[in-house]
């Protein structure tokens, strides 16, 4: 049995398809650059992990069935000047999920509340960041609440806080 067929068989047995795809390419590079065995193995496994994370993120976004897939890069901060880019960038770190906090966008229709909400959820799905327990299944569309002042407001509260 040849080495390439061994790798193909073992990658199927381990359910690691990226290993089969990248092993020979990385082996050639390792020979050219003089990698040791551990460096080569780490590179192959890193490719497998990267492929799994990418595929898992795509699967989680698809399973979420968002009305559209929105990203923070698509949001036009020049159109909606009341949205603070620094605040949204902080939210994009998704610390509020680890802290089990809610984020609520308030403002009039057409100001980007749904876009930002979906973009944060897509980012969480791609990063494999799960929702804290309990999941937000109350059906509350808090980002669609109108603001009395006609501008944006952001509120953060814990899961045990008052209902929407």
Which residues are CB-contacts of 96 (< 8 A; sequence separation ≥ 6)?
A: 102, 103, 156
How confident is the model over 82-126, as pLDDT tens digits?
Answer: 888 888 888 888 888 888 888 888 888 888 888 898 888 888 887
The pTM is what? 0.51
How confident is the model over 37-49, as pLDDT tens digits?
Answer: 899 889 988 888 8
Residue 133's pLDDT is 35
Residue 1's pLDDT is 57
**CATH 3.40.50.300 is right for the domain spanning 72-158:** yes
- Alpha carbon of 109 to those of 65, 113, 118, 123, 152: distances in Å? 22, 8, 15, 23, 11
Residue 126 · residue 60 · CB < 8 Å:
yes
Residue 78's pLDDT is 83
């Amino acid at each position: 049995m040849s080495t390439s067929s061994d790798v193909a068989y073992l990658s199927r047995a381990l359910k690691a398809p990226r290993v089969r795809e990248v092993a020979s390419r990385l082996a050639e590079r390792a020979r050219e650059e003089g990698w040791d065995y551990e460096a080569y193995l780490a590179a192959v496994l890193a490719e497998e992990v990267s492929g799994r994370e990418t595929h898992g993120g795509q699967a989680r976004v698809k399973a979420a069935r968002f009305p559209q897939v929105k990203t923070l890069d698509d949001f036009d901060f020049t159109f909606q000047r009341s949205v603070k880019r620094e605040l949204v960038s902080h939210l994009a770190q998704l610390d509020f999920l680890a802290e089990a906090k809610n984020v609520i966008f308030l403002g009039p229709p057409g100001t980007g509340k749904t876009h930002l909400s979906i973009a944060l959820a897509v980012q969480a799905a791609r990063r494999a960041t799960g929702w804290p327990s309990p999941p937000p299944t109350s059906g509350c569309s808090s980002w669609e609440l109108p603001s009395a002042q006609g501008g944006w407001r952001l509120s953060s509260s814990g899961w045990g806080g008052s209902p929407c």
